[in-house]
Amino acid sequence: MNYEYTQIIHDLLLKYADSNEAVKMKRYMRNQYEFYGLRAPQRKELVRSLIKKQGTPQEEHFREIIQELWEFPERDYQSIALELLDRKIKHFKEKDIELLEYLVINKSWWDTVDWIATKHVGHYFMQHPQNKKAVTGKWIDSENIWLQRTAILFQLKYKKLTDEDLLFRYINQCLGSEEFFINKAIGWALREYSKTNPQSVLEFVDKTPLSRLSKTEALKAIKKNKGNEEKNSKGG
């Protein structure tokens, strides 16, 4: 370990490790990662306590510490790294997109990628919109499914600020994919946007040859609202 901050995290994880929970977590993640077994509330409390005593990592070493945490085999380190990144979301510098991309393409799985995409990348492009199309365009053109998923999902919480043309263009570019994580992302993104602009999503779904998974996911919120309206109408 190159940094004292990382050593402190390591010592805390050893202190609070729960082997029984670790087995359950490893099984839930399809045995892809090892765990110390800290559940999310306990991990969040650990990070709060850490920051209260040590502060957040100094800016000049922030990236290196995050990347060092990323290299450990236990998934708890990556989750703590993202908790630390959460503290930076309002103050991303333009160059921080390099770190975010690194985290997406290394140790990639839905748990970290979706956290990075919807929270960190989403906030980053709010602060640096001039980079949005160039960077996400490169991602969607790549053959990396996690970069593509990030390009589709980064606007998930944008609501009325969603760049609809960009979202639909990226979805169209991924049509025909047999990759579960891409088709699921397409459906998820459309479902969330349907809560803001249901008519636009309905029209897009109607004219676009989406996969069955994407279409089912995309229409869930619309169908639920329609069902509630019919129920209320009958009740009245």
pLDDT score at 2 = 83
pLDDT score at 42 = 96
pLDDT score at 77 = 98
Model confidence, pTM = 0.94
The matching CATH number, chosen from 1.25.10.90, 1.10.287.130, 3.30.200.20, 3.40.50.300, for 130-235 is 1.25.10.90
Domain spans, the chain = 130-235
Task: Name the phi and psi angles at 204, rounded to 5.
Answer: -65, -45
| pLDDT digit string, tens, across residues 172-219 | 999 999 999 999 999 999 999 999 999 999 999 999 999 999 999 999
Asked if 168 contacts 132 with a C-beta cutoff of 8 angstroms, the reply is: no
Task: Count the residues in the chain.
Answer: 236
pLDDT score at 71 = 97
Task: Tell me the mean pLDDT per 10 residues along the chain, length 236.
Answer: 94 96 97 96 96 95 98 98 97 97 98 98 98 98 98 98 98 98 98 98 98 98 84 63
